[in-house]
Amino acid sequence: MTLVAILSGAGISTDSGIPDYRGPNGVWRRDPEAEKLVTYDLYMNDPEIRRRSWQMRRSSPAFRAEPNVAHRAVAALDRAGGGAVRVITQNVDGLHQLGGMPARKVLELHGTAREVVCTGCGARSSMAEAMARVEAGEADPPCTGCGAVLKSATVMFGERLDPQVLGQALSIAKACEVFIAVGTTLQVRPAASLAGIAAEHGARLIIVNAEPTPYDEQADEIVREPIGTALPTLLERFHEG
């Protein structure tokens, strides 16, 4: 059975109305201040940064976004058989799961924006619940259990990736026969290094991205077409029969 690993970055979700970070119109290019709102030390030590972060989430398109054809194509490949499919995503939007991919087959390297975590006791709860408190007037809602600072269950700048999740991703990269990097610049490590690791272990490396990446020379195939049309066509090749 062929193991197909799909590493997805922000580019797979732009058709769902979620802007990417480092592209020509990316969040960090348009608003350099936005990066401060997701930097751990600043967030933990500055109540004003936290208030601004909660307000940013109120207007974020991520919570209204719906899966697009690319997310659904990945889930369709999983349903079609012909191999095992695993998604390793740099995204925090949860759209792979909403698009039909079983949660157990999705590794979220950078966490999820759909939950919050207490920095004191570690309790997790839904982002929707926290946002309801913000809408009701709490500018910086604390943990209801211990009173410590709440943050999005995403990996902020200055935080380490979950070693267990990263370890699983490395195992998949080493074991897969096909590794498809889609909508990612392959510049943010350690996620980017997974493409090289897969290629070094014999996987066919396919890169679907509008811009060149540092791993293009190692790729067996490079697709520069729009993801919404290119990815479904590409994945059809791996359907059973």
Q: Which of 71, 110, 201, 239 is catalytic?
A: 110
Grouping H, G, I as helix, E, B as strand and the rest as coil, residue 161 is coil
DSSP secondary structure, 73-133, as one string: HHHHHHHH-SEEEEEEES--S-HHHHTT--GGGEEETTEEEEEEEETTT--EEEHHHHHHH
User: What residues are paired with 84 via a beta bridge?
Assistant: 3
CA separation for the pair 126, 160 (Å, rounded): 22
- In the residue annotation, 110 being an active-site residue is answered as yes
Q: What are phi and psi of 95, to 5 degrees?
A: -75, -25
Tokens of 93: 């939007």
CA separation for the pair 205, 5 (Å, rounded): 10
End-to-end CA distance of the chain: 13
Active site residues: 110
